[in-house]
Amino acid sequence: MKNFEIIKKCSQTKARVGKIFTPHGEIETPVFIPVGTQGTVKTLSPEELKEIDVQIIQGNAYHLYFRPGIEVIKKAGGLHNFINWDRTILTDSGGFQVFSLSHLRKITPEGVKFSYPLNGSEHLFTPEKSIEIQNTLGADILMCFDECTSYPCDYTYAKNSLALTLDWAKRCKKKFQVSSLKFKEDKNDQPSTINHKLLFGIIQGSTYLDLRKESALRTVEIGFDGYALGGLAVGEPKEEMYKVIEETVPLLPENSCHYLMGVGTAEDIWEAVELGIDLFDCVQPTRNARNGQLFTTFGKINIKNAIYRDDFRPLDEECDCLLCRNYMRAYLSHLYRAGEILALRLNTLHNLYFMVKLLKLIQISILENRFFEEKKKFLDKYFSLVPEN
């Protein structure tokens, strides 16, 4: 079974519309993946995510392993069952979280030893362990356990880290293959047309183009169902990020899915799709929503600003989401100022709907060979708002 198919290539750029096949459904790309770290996309219910047509969410191996605990999720019949989500789940390997524990962790060739900050208990995460956790969670798309370097990153450090990540990628693949065989045996009463789980490799190498190239070629050599660019959007200038994407994507198999981790803004997504990226995830739409920042057709506004206290217009007159159809800015301002939870809910729902709509617009612009026109039209409007004082 193939797990990714290109439906249409853009005539103007490297952009493409594609489809990912997973055990929990098909996903049209380019697509944005809302982050649901702890088994919930913060403030929203699965029903609401479905209403705004979210097809895939992200879970986190590290967080869920500790809380509620992997045994609980196993007994609950997996993450889908536990959180009442029957669509696709991609899980982060936990690498990013473990490496973020800077002074609490020690890297060895075997894996990473660390103290869990909430109770000080000692743990060892290895590539095998990460795959095992992600499998137990029942992820549809698993990510290799890698080291995500920070920015700026010393060249030698980046080079050595890369070697480690490549070694771990091989071990992840091996573990995944063994468990996939087991998975197939478990399911041997199923028809053979069932979609399989996917394992994605991760390209690292900081902002060094030669290291990125080496990482890409050697990761492709190992062979994965899809390829992610990791270690970007970690503080480097945007031009450097775009350059890495531009130089790396052509080294990946065209017929595989390309995932840019941790991105991002509307403008970054347009740029990255243009360079051949299919998948995105980022906490920004949800986190910023909880901080009062809302995305509109005419740019970002912050509902905390005093001017919205008596602004009786909808948030975005060109948006047809629940919030924009039913509520006025003055009410959002009031809810936010009064510390009401409904503010966080409505803001989050709107920002995610904005992302879903943006990615659909991008898909259509590719299908209709109007990528540049739509990109310009969108960004001209999006940057037309006079900045708030």
Q: Is 1 in the site for its own copies (CB under 8 A)?
A: no
Nearer to its own copies among residue 40 and residue 293 (C-beta): 40
Q: What is the dihedral of CA 238, 239, 242, 248, to 10 degrees?
A: -120
Under a CB-based contact definition with an 8 Å cutoff, are residues 26 and 20 in contact? yes
- Residue 291 neighbours by CB under 8 Å, 6+ apart: none
Position among 4, 21, 62, 82 found at the interface with its own copies (CB under 8 A): 82
238 is a site residue for its own copies (CB under 8 A) = no
| Residue recorded with tokens 């998975």 | 183
Closest distance to its own copies from the beta carbon of 72 (Å):
5
Q: Rank residues 46 and 230 by Cβ distance to its own copies and give the closer one.
A: 46
Burial environment of residue 379 by CB neighbours within 10 A (0 to 12, 13 to 18, 19 or more): middle
- For β-strands 279-281 and 226-229, DSSP reports them as unpaired
Q: Where are the beta strands (DSSP E) in the chain?
A: 4-9, 16-22, 25-29, 31-33, 56-60, 88-92, 105-107, 112-115, 122-125, 141-143, 198-203, 226-229, 257-260, 279-281, 293-296, 299-302
For its own copies, give the closer residue by CB, 273 or 344: 344
- Of 192, 312, 380, 387, the residue at the interface with its own copies (CB under 8 A) is 312
According to DSSP, the residues that pair with 6 across neighbouring strands are: 18
Q: Does 336 bind its own copies (CB under 8 A)?
A: no
Closest approach of its own copies to the CB of residue 92, in Å: 16
Query: What span, in angstroms and rounded, lies between the C-alpha atoms of 346 and 255?
Result: 38
Among 35, 56, 83, 241, binds its own copies (CB under 8 A): 83
| 326 in contact with its own copies (CB under 8 A) | yes
**Cα-based distances in Å from 335 to 308, 330, 340:** 12, 9, 5
Amino acid (1-letter code) at residue 186? D
CB closer to its own copies, 38 vs 297:
38
Binding range to its own copies, per CB under 8 A, among 156-164, 221-229, 330-338, 359-367:
330-338
Q: Does 310 bind its own copies (CB under 8 A)?
A: yes
- Figure out which of the listed residues 76, 101, 107, 222 binds its own copies, where binding follows CB under 8 A: 76
SS3 88: strand
Point out which span in 142-150, 168-176, 232-240, 324-332 binds its own copies (CB under 8 A): 324-332
How far is Cα 77 from Cα 309, in angstroms, rounded to an integer? 47
Q: Is 59 in the site for its own copies (CB under 8 A)?
A: no
Applying CB under 8 A, does 331 fall inside the site for its own copies?
yes
Cα–Cα dist 44/172, whole Å: 32
- Selected from 233, 346, 358, 359, the binder of its own copies by CB under 8 A is 346
Q: Which residues are catalytic?
A: 92, 281
283 part of the interface to its own copies, by CB under 8 A: no
37-56: contacts with its own copies (CB under 8 A):
38-40, 42-47
Task: Tell which residue, 44, 93, 79, has the closest CA to residue 321.
Answer: 44
Q: Which one of the spans 98-106, 202-210, 256-264, 328-336 is the region binding its own copies (CB under 8 A)?
A: 328-336
Using DSSP, state whether 75 is helix, strand or coil.
Answer: helix
Cβ proximity to its own copies: between 190 and 326 the closer is 326
User: What are 132's two structure tokens?
Assistant: 């095992």
328 in contact with its own copies (CB under 8 A): yes
- Select the span of 98-106, 122-130, 323-331, 355-363 touching its own copies (CB under 8 A): 323-331
The footprint of its own copies (CB under 8 A) covers 38-40, 42-47, 67-69, 71-72, 75-76, 82-84, 309-310, 312, 322, 326-328, 330-331, 333-335, 337-338, 340-342, 344-346
